[in-house]
Amino acid sequence: MKTGLLADWRAAEWDARRWPDFRAAELACKCGGRFCGGEYVHDPVFLDALQRMRDALGAPVIVNSGHRCALWNAHVGGAPASEHKRIAADIRLAGHAPGALLRAARGAGFSSFGFYRSFLHMDLRPGRRWFGGAAARRFWSPVIIEEDMAWWK
């Protein structure tokens, strides 16, 4: 199986039984051909976590942003060292109770979170947490306290 950086998501060996609710295309760079041809980082460990989260939620999961090519990451204002240049997922909040989404993501193995007003960023790096602005902090703080303060360092 090809893992790691692929120039084109179509090169990914997608196991539809292992990851039935996702497709490589929705996790590939969304620059739409401006800077790349659909660049994608295939990481089965990440995909297993994403599918575990989806299974726990029992509800559709919309990926706003997955992998980003370097130029698209810069274009959308991503941090220079953003994990989106490897593989991360910004999951849309609409349709989910935020506490249940956070709990499912943590239970599935995601370990770094960016809390935004309309989505939750998640990736597999150890122990990073940040807020995407004051409104996001106001929105998420009660949820985080309710969920598990011991986890919040």
Tokens of 48: 């297993």
Nearest residue (CB) to Zn ion, 53 versus 69: 69
Nearest residue (CB) to Zn ion, 86 versus 117: 86
In angstroms, give the least distance from the CB of 147 to Zn ion: 34
Query: Running DSSP on this structure, what letter comes out for residue 32?
Result: T
Nearest residue (CB) to Zn ion, 59 versus 76: 76
In angstroms, give the least distance from the CB of 66 to Zn ion: 11
Coil, strand, or helix at residue 49?
helix
Return all residues near 153 (Cβ < 8 A) that are at least 6 apart: 127, 129
In angstroms, give the least distance from the CB of 119 to Zn ion: 19
| Rounded Cα distance, 28 and 46, in Å | 13
Nearest residue (CB) to Zn ion, 9 versus 115: 9
Q: Which residues bind Zn ion (CB under 5 A)?
A: 29, 31, 35-36, 69, 72
With b meaning 16 or more CB within 10 Å and e meaning fewer, what string describes 85-121? bbbbbbbbbeebebeebbbbbbebebebbbbbeebbb
